[in-house]
Amino acid sequence: MRMYDLITKKKHGEVLTDEEIQFMIDGYVKGEIPDYQMSSMLMAIWFNGMTDHEITQLTMVMAKSGDMIDLSAIAGKKVDKHSTGGVGDKTTLIVGPIVAACGGKVAKMSGRGLGHTGGTVDKLEAIPGYKTALDRQEFFDTVNKCGISLIGQSGNLAPADKKLYALRDVTATVDCIPLIASSIMSKKLAAGSDCILLDVKTGSGAFMKTLDDSIKLAQTMVAIGEGAGRRTVALITDMDTPLGLGIGNSIEVAESMDVLKGHGPADLTEVSLQLAANMLYLVGKGDLDECRKLAEKSIEDGSAFETFCTMVKAQGGDDSVLRDYSKFAQAPFKAEIKAEEDGFITKMNAEAIGEMSVILGAGRETKESDIDFSAGLMLHKKYGDAVKKGDVLVTMYTSKEAAFKGAEELYRKSVVIGSTAPAKEPLVYARVEKDKVEKY
Ligand code: URA
């Protein structure tokens, strides 16, 4: 078999066989197929797509390119969650402890920030002492003890995806349904949970910008999960506006704790409750209404917050920062952006707000960059809010004062103040289950 012939086939929109997909991924992981040939294949897939069968085969071969984790040493039903990536999306830190407090088991491996989107592992590392790398036994023991463990992806989880993702990132081939679906589902299947909840983001801050594409991506991933014997549900949630008010690592941990303590921002609380209810539904805790009530109760009685603190301590972290946020390392510089006119925020480009946080130091400019955990921003006004000239719109935090100028320029370019209030947008657009799409 020759990679050249497989590229030619895909260039003409033909279907690759199971053996050809296996050959291509094996060869790429071993370094026998060079980046330039794989780049060409990725672009051919971007233009010509893949059949459902090809996507499933690609996912399975990528999942099996490394360890397939066996979670049977953890008692009870394990449920995983994955977001397709967003700005201010800190829901794992909220829904994980809610589900664990209600009796579900969350053995979750998370990723780092990517481009303008944040990552759970970076946020967790803002908690002093918290270890995101545990060995397999410590990971299992923590879930058995606390109901939850949140760690970074182990080196050998779907190595084919790791290599392919890095190549897609620099060849403009990230935004492609077969490639996103196989990337996400290969990691989820390898990570071993019994059920999977997918949070597919839609809008300006998401990889999928339209609702139709987001639903198609969700259906593709749900079909792959169910085909592999894992109960899988997807929610399509808004990412036209950042989720919550805070963007940045310690800022987002603090805001997540606000939700767990019952006084977080309304949008973040609502999306988190819907995600948590669906995870509890997947592990068999009742119908969606009953599961929502369980989730709400775990916030009201403090058990979700205490579950998170117990996990943090078990993983070496200092949980006192979760009770008193002033104990987080503080950014030395702070600046405000003020409204220059009266009106309503009629547009807020979430991707640009995410890029602002990267400029301030909260994300990586290059793969090797360090993260400034104290950097980020707090939005005081969001899409739809009325503003008066002189109102503070955003407070920015950084360790590099020179970053304020570029961040403010980006904000002014990406936020529009108009004269009439815009129509409200839903927070959750749709729910996708096997063979079923409910639009809200
Ligand atoms: N997240 C992933 O893990 N993979 C993608 O391709 C996109 C988002």
pLDDT-based confidence at 113, cuts 50/70/90? confident
Distance 153 CA to ligand 1 centre (A): 13
pLDDT at residue 367 greater than cutoff 70: no
105: DSSP letter = B
Q: Is the CB of 173 under 6 A from ligand 1?
A: no
Q: Mean pLDDT across the stretch 68-72? A: 95
Q: Is the CB of 61 under 6 A from ligand 1?
A: no
Q: 261-268: list long-range contacts, CB under 8 Å, 24+ apart.
A: 261/299, 261/302, 261/305, 262/299, 262/300, 264/94, 267/241, 267/243, 267/382, 267/427, 268/88, 268/90, 268/91, 268/94, 268/243, 268/244
| Closest residue by Cα to residue 121 from 400, 364, 397, 422 | 364
Q: Is the CB of 84 under 6 A from ligand 1?
A: yes
Distance 388 CA to ligand 1 centre (A): 39
Q: How far apart are CA 337 and CA 406, in angstroms?
A: 12
Tell me which of 87 and 392 has the higher pLDDT: 392
**φ and ψ at residue 167, rounded to 5 degrees:** -70, -40
pLDDT at residue 48 greater than cutoff 90: yes
With helix as H, strand as E and coil as C, how does 255-279 read?
HHHHHHCCCCCHHHHHHHHHHHHHH
Catalytic residue, chosen from 168, 188, 201, 230, is 168
pLDDT at residue 365 greater than cutoff 80: no
204 Cβ neighbours under 8 A, 6+ residues apart: 239, 240, 349, 350, 351
Q: Is the CB of 188 under 6 A from ligand 1?
A: no
Distance 183 CA to ligand 1 centre (A): 6
Percent of the chain with pLDDT over 70: 99
Q: Is the CB of 29 under 6 A from ligand 1?
A: no
Catalytic residue, chosen from 161, 238, 267, 372, is 161
pLDDT at residue 117 greater than cutoff 80: no
Lowest mean pLDDT among 116-120, 270-274, 412-416: 116-120
Catalytic residue, chosen from 40, 110, 182, 183, is 183
pLDDT at residue 315 greater than cutoff 80: yes
Nearest CA to ligand 1 atom 8: 84
Q: Mean pLDDT across the stretch 19-35? A: 97
Q: How far apart are CA 62 and CA 395, in angstroms?
A: 42
Q: Mean pLDDT across the stretch 416-432? A: 95
User: Contact at 8 Å (CB) between 428 and 211?
Assistant: no
Q: Is the CB of 278 under 6 A from ligand 1?
A: no
- Among 89, 92, 174, residue to substitute to test ligand 1 (most atoms within 8 Å of Cβ): 174
What is the phi-psi region of residue 158: left when phi exceeds 0, alpha when psi lies from -120 to 50, beta otherwise? left
Burial code (b: 16+ CB inside 10 Å, e: under 16) for 274-302 equals bbbbbbbbbbebeeeeebbebbbebbeee
Q: Mean pLDDT across the stretch 184-211? A: 93
Nearest CA to ligand 1 atom 5: 180
Distance 175 CA to ligand 1 centre (A): 9
Distance 84 CA to ligand 1 centre (A): 6
In the numeric block, which tokens belong to residue 415? 């936020």
183 is catalytic: yes
Distance 207 CA to ligand 1 centre (A): 9
pLDDT digits (tens, 9 = 90+) for 216-231: 999 999 999 999 999 9
pLDDT at residue 274 greater than cutoff 80: yes
Q: What is the pLDDT of residue 363?
A: 87
pLDDT digits (tens, 9 = 90+) for 230-271: 999 999 999 999 999 999 999 999 999 999 999 999 999 999
In the numeric block, which tokens belong to residue 221? 């991933």
Q: CA-CA distances (angstroms) from residue 143 to 108, 134, 170, 322, 407?
A: 9, 12, 36, 20, 40
Q: Mean pLDDT across the stretch 65-81? A: 95
pLDDT at residue 185 greater than cutoff 90: yes
Query: 387 - beta bridge partners?
Result: 343
161 is catalytic: yes
pLDDT-based confidence at 31, cuts 50/70/90? very high
- Among 162, 184, 200, 217, residue to substitute to test ligand 1 (most atoms within 8 Å of Cβ): 184
Catalytic residue, chosen from 10, 78, 81, 82, is 82
Distance 111 CA to ligand 1 centre (A): 10
Catalytic residue, chosen from 78, 112, 187, 230, is 187
Q: Is the CB of 140 under 6 A from ligand 1?
A: no
Q: Is the CB of 207 under 6 A from ligand 1?
A: yes
Q: Is the CB of 57 under 6 A from ligand 1?
A: no
Q: Is the CB of 55 under 6 A from ligand 1?
A: no
Distance 440 CA to ligand 1 centre (A): 25
168 is catalytic: yes
Nearest CA to ligand 1 atom 1: 84
